[in-house]
Amino acid sequence: MIIQLNCKGYLLSTPKTKKSKRQVPIQDFLIKALTAHKEHQETQRKRLGEHYQDQNLVICTEIGTFQDPRNVLRVMKRISKAANLTPIRFHDIRHTHASILISEGVDVVKVQTRLGHSKPSITLEHYAHMMPNQDDEVADIFHNALQKSR
């Protein structure tokens, strides 16, 4: 987590909860993109030598320092506009991710783990409205169970 200190710069802090620090599986295409990005950073680091301030960041400036989050948002807005997408906040990407998983029927405990929520109830509190309407299916299951018991 990055915290801005009244225009004095940025400070890395610990994640909010124990579950915030976790491994999240990603697709191969994203691994390749991140690997290419890391190679670009390594090239930049070698080119700048001692002037590169390597802080082991994924998103950083060309000299390796913290990227101002406002710059990331500006780039995101520019990309969204060029792609004719509705502008959204950066955090909305997380909500979209969770909403798609839930609407596709992924178990809420799996979504909870992926998001790093401490309990499934937190995930449900935020995303219950995205749960597929399964009333008919539930009614059928109940009916079939009653039929079996006769």
Residue bearing tokens 């940025």: 10
Count the domains in the chain.
Answer: 1
- Would 15 be classed as within a structural domain? no
Q: Measured in whole angstroms, how far is the alpha carbon of residue 19 from the centre of its chain?
A: 14
SS3 label, residue 95: helix
**CA 65/CA 59 separation, integer angstroms:** 9
- Would 52 be classed as within a structural domain? no
pLDDT at 4: 58
Q: Residue 86 corresponds to which amino acid?
A: T
What is the pLDDT, as a whole number, of residue 97? Answer: 92
Q: Note the pLDDT tens digit of each residue in 99-109.
A: 889 888 899 99
73 lies in some domain: no
Residue 7: the pLDDT is 65
Q: Has residue 10 been placed in a domain? A: no
Q: Is residue 59 part of a domain?
A: no
In terms of C-beta distances under 8 Å and separation of at least 24 residues, what long-range contacts does 6-14 make, across chains too? 9/66, 10/66
Task: Give residue 143's domain range.
Answer: 87-150
User: Which residues have CB under 8 Å from 112's CB, separation 6+?
Assistant: 119, 120, 122, 123
pTM, to two decimals: 0.70
